Amino acid sequence: MPDHVDYASQPTSPRLTESAARAARLRAEATADLEGFWKREATDRIAWVKEPTKIKNTRFDGDVSIKWFEDGTLNASVSCLDRHLETRGDQTAIIWEGDEPGTQDSVTYRELHARVCKFANALKGLGVTKGDRVTIYMPMVIEAAVAMLACARIGAIHSVVFGGFSPQSLSGRILDCKSSVVITSDEARRGGRRVPLKANTDEALKTCPDVTAVVVVAVTGATVPMVAGRDHDYAALVADASADCPPEEMGAEDPLFILYTSGSTGSPKGVLHTTGGYMVWASFTHDLVFDYRPGEIYWCTADVGWVTGHTYIVYGPLANGATTLMFEGVPTYPDSGRLWDVVDKHKVEIFYTAPTAIRALMRDGDEPVTRSSRSSLRVLGTVGEPINPEAWEWYYTVVGDSRCPIVDTWWQTETGGHLISPVPGMNPLKPGSATLPLPGVTPLIVDSNGTPLEGEADGHLCIADSWPGQMRTVFGDHDRFIKTYFSTYKGLYFSGDGARRDADGYYWITGRVDDVINVSGHRMGTAEVESALGSHHHVAESAVVGYPHDVKGQGIYAYVTLKHGVEASEALLKELAGWVRKEIGPIAVPDVIQWAPGLPKTRSGKIMRRILRKIAANEVDSLGDTSTLADPAVVDDLVSNRKK
Ligand code: 6R9
């Protein structure tokens, strides 16, 4: 397999050349005059009430303060809706493709605007005001986007919780940001199955006494118990609401949303994004990285419960007046050709998905792909984890018929949008490399002392200076923000990822270097899984690490020490798996649980994860120095009883 694809040997198009030239030009402009560059982009892209005159006011040292466009005022929903009404009011804003083939829906910009305004008024009627937090626990239906935009319209801060999370995870997130209102649905549909979202919400709310209102959208029509005085049927609520809802005028630095994400320690952090900078970044990157042009059909397969869904299903595409497709289902239902059937059905031009989905589909061979035409496709994208060259190659040749550039977009919940990515037409592409930073982005590779490395380098990935889409704080805990991102390497934003820079200056992300596992593109903190396991009454102690997994990228490997007198059994294994599912959700369930009579610890009691990672990865010949362990014999036991 070639290590790069050179467009000199591919069909080129004037459009690809133009897209690459634009990126190069913008990069040069941002380098020459960063503030002038962002002033222009901000003014051109966003509907401001009051245009900003102060552009950048950021510091990565001391108490860390990040402000962009701080004297500007705006409302995010106006940039996504109102300003399109005149030019494209009757254009489709969202195409909805249901879980069952043959079920679909769509809304125009005008209809979406009306729905958002009605729901915004309904939320006001429930007492929601500017700055209040609203938790959204919804399936992939149009009303999820309506709910987000309705919050934005009245200045409420939404916190979307992925529908795959358990009641316990949901309640933790509601309590942390002190939401008083929850928006959910009766059930979710996924791959022919039902997920009881309302029942989960009821369970979660047993420990959330401050939630005063729950809005329930009827998605499947299942009968669900409604608590009188607290629960409201969405349809009834909006039926009487006015479609006239003047947008709340927000400061650029007023919060837009909170999104919880896993870190290496403790419970998930509430990543806070504000209004002006985030909207500029969402619009800028969606436009540049996908070379989006008006009228094109764009599809991102993420869930709105993750940041990719926020920025690249809702805010970025709608800010750019795009037609964005929302898919309720999964790539393998009813069979592994579903994604490509949907591409043909809706004539999708830009398609954005995760490497784990590509790897899963690849296993089922080419036929489910080649039975479709895919002739509408123009650009392919990936996100969430490093893409292995085999998957890249298959995506490029089989899915894209060797016609469509792949944009491998590196970014994080914290970054708001893409930071390192090719743009269509960039030459050459190298399978597995996210290539070059976007305009205005200043990555650094540092060694373990924090010294920036020049030229070809391998180390930890930091960013030297702020960009508009950067998170501003951890909700309610600014010290944790500083400690997590700015204290490992003073004065730099530390991503938690390792990276290599090659001789062409291309970046290759090598994965997390902290205790975060990337399972199918989703972040899971080892500490969270350990804490879930540790709360089971039979567990004395546990240690959780990631290991290479063919489809998921990384799997979860748990070493569990049982309390004295408790017998290890198959039944207990199942029980622990079920326990983690209940505590956090299906994505956190360990792929492997190994009974560990003891864990490898230093004399000061620190678990040596390096050794546990090696054993899980079956690299038992290179365990390294184990002489500093308090009891080196535990390693022999773990090696000889290694699972799989
Ligand atoms: C957008 C998103 C962030 C972590 C990040 C990194 C990994 C994301 C990647 C990638 C290699 C890419 N990651 N994109 N690794 N190549 N193109 O996924 O946000 O859920 O916060 O995860 O995902 O490890 O640090 P989030």
pLDDT tens-digit profile of 31-86?
Answer: 999 999 999 999 999 999 999 999 999 999 999 999 999 999 999 999 999 999 99
Does pLDDT of 387 surpass 70? yes
Does pLDDT of 11 surpass 70? no
Burial class (CB in 10 A: 0-12, 13-18, 19+), 570: exposed
Model pTM score: 0.95
User: Span 405-419, mean pLDDT?
Assistant: 97
Rounded distance between C-alpha atoms, residue 633 and residue 637, angstroms: 7
Q: Which of 411, 461, 463 to mutate to test the pocket of ligand 1 (most atoms within 8 A of CB)?
A: 411
Give yes or no for residue 261 CB within 6 A of ligand 1. yes
Q: Is the ipTM of this complex over 0.95?
A: yes
Distance of CA 228 to the CA centre of its chain: 35
Give yes or no for residue 509 CB within 6 A of ligand 1. yes
Tokens of 470: 């950067």
* Residue-wise pLDDT tens digits, 167-215: 999 999 999 999 999 999 999 999 999 999 999 999 999 999 999 999 9
Rounded distance between C-alpha atoms, residue 193 and residue 421, angstroms: 36
Question: For residues 466 and 474, is the Cβ–Cβ distance under 8 A?
Answer: no
Give yes or no for residue 524 CB within 6 A of ligand 1. no
Give me the chain's average pLDDT, please. Answer: 95
Rounded distance between C-alpha atoms, residue 266 and residue 23, angstroms: 39
Residue nearest ligand 1's atom 17 by CA: 410
The H or E element containing residue 215 is strand 213-217
Q: What are phi and psi of 301, to 5 degrees?
A: -85, 5
Give yes or no for residue 526 CB within 6 A of ligand 1. no
